[in-house]
Structure 1
């Protein structure tokens, strides 16, 4: 696995997961969202995402293989997650990421808004774009970047690519709806499969006893 040893830019307005949820709820009450684009569409997505967050929290079950790997890690890690309140993929994955981190005393989860942290966002672009969510795992002691993940679980992204190939003229709204259905059916399994692989590689890289 390639590791990146780069200086992490200053984190602007870092939040806990609970603080991010509270911010999102407050903005919904004000008919607003995060980021500079206060469009009706993004505000609507933010409202929908409150339901998605709660559903993922309720349904999440930690896979035994992932739980075992979390227990094996003896190093202090920071998980930096770049997201926005209107992001549908973020609403489906951030609660699961938070639940995973909560099971590991050595992991500190830090939630960051993409548009407030462009310098950090630009260190982990996807095909040149600022696609979110993005999870960056950093060794808290050395600052070494161990892995990045996102913006979607590998298995779900493969389904998206296949659908686009089969239906190149598919309307964006229909695509978004289908992706949300895949997330609902998957129940965070694909994300956890990705995390198992990434943690195995990170532990090996750090010379941990596996």
Structure 2
């Protein structure tokens, strides 16, 4: 299925979060993954990510400050998250993003597979690459892009950069192990702090716009 979003980019196979989870469960049963690259490594990552998503859902706790921002301003937004089932960062972050969106009735979350949506993906590259997950926040009424976030929380990315700088001989497997250890200890706080800052910046600007002034 293909629909057009408010910015004119086609959204191919938009999914609710619960539907996406069911797809991941089915892929694990089928020993498969999303995308055309059906490697043993990516299939293995998908199996691990199924468990990671369940763990994040179980442990997630919304920061009071973030809840306050959502309840006070009650934004009407569309959140589009570009991800793939084999993406480890996506498994750590998407369940938390879904939980945050569920806290705000005016936020509608749509999950999109990156490789099925290259046009939209190419509007939010990271250093020229299609790094995921990416969260695109759009105004539900105007279609204006309010902010883009991703592919990794700032605090986690800083740890990743420090690890690579301090361990130039470490292989990818060692880095991935360390990355998910950081995510496990962080319990979605770094993501929430990032989004809290985004929301505070957006609402601070809008408070000074004429239509929001008393």
Query: TM-score scaled by structure 2?
Result: 0.92
What's the counterpart of residue 16 of structure 1? 16
The unaligned stretches of length 5 or more in structure 2 are 1-5
Match of 1:69 in 2: 69
Change (3 A) 1:75 1:185: closer
Paired position in structure 1 for 2:181: 181
Corresponding position of 1:25 = 25
Match of 1:78 in 2: 78
Give the Å deviation of 1:8.
Answer: 4.3
- Paired with 1:115 and 1:181, the residues of 2 have a C-alpha distance of 27
The residue number in structure 1 matching 2:99 is 99
Equivalence for 2:150? 150
Determine if the alignment matches structure 1 residue 160 to structure 2 residue 156: no
CA distance in 1 between partners of 2:206 and 2:11 (Å): 25
Per-residue CA deviations over 1:56-105 (Å, capped at 9, x if unaligned) read: 00000000000001112233100000000000000000000000000000
State the 1:202 CA deviation.
Answer: 1.6
For CA contacts below 8 A with separation 6 or more, give which structure has more relative contact order.
Answer: 1
What is the alpha-carbon distance in structure 2 between the residues aligned to residue 64 and residue 167 of structure 1?
37
Instruction: Give yes or no for contact 1:125–1:131 (8 Å, CA) kept in 2.
Output: yes
Aligned length: 204
Aligned counterpart, 1:3: none
CA contact (8 A) 1:8 1:143 kept: no
> Is the aligned partner of 1:42 residue 2:42?
yes
Instruction: Identify which range, 71-80 or 97-106, moves more after superposition.
Output: 71-80
Contact between 1:8 and 1:120, CA under 8 Å: does it hold in 2? no
Q: Secondary structure at the match of 1:11?
A: strand
Hey, what does 1:203 align to over in structure 2? 203
Residue 90 of structure 2: aligned partner:
90
Distance (Å, rounded) in 2 between the aligned partners of 1:69 and 1:197: 10
Q: Give the Cα–Cα distance (whole angstroms) in 1 for the partners of residues 23 and 65 of structure 2.
A: 33
CA distance in 2, matches of 1:73, 1:141: 15
- Tell me, yes or no, if structure 1 residue 114 matches structure 2 residue 120: no
Partner Cα separation in structure 2 for residue 157 and residue 136 of structure 1 = 19
- 1:129 corresponding residue in structure 2: 129
- Corresponding residue SS for 2:183: helix
The aligned residue for residue 3 of structure 2 is none
TM-score with structure 1 setting the length: 0.94
Counterpart contact for 1:73–1:106, Cα < 8 Å: no
Distance 2:73 2:176 in 1: 36
Instruction: Find runs of 4+ consecutive structure 1 residues off by over 4 angstroms.
Output: none
| Cα distance in structure 1, aligned partners of 2:8 and 2:79 | 12
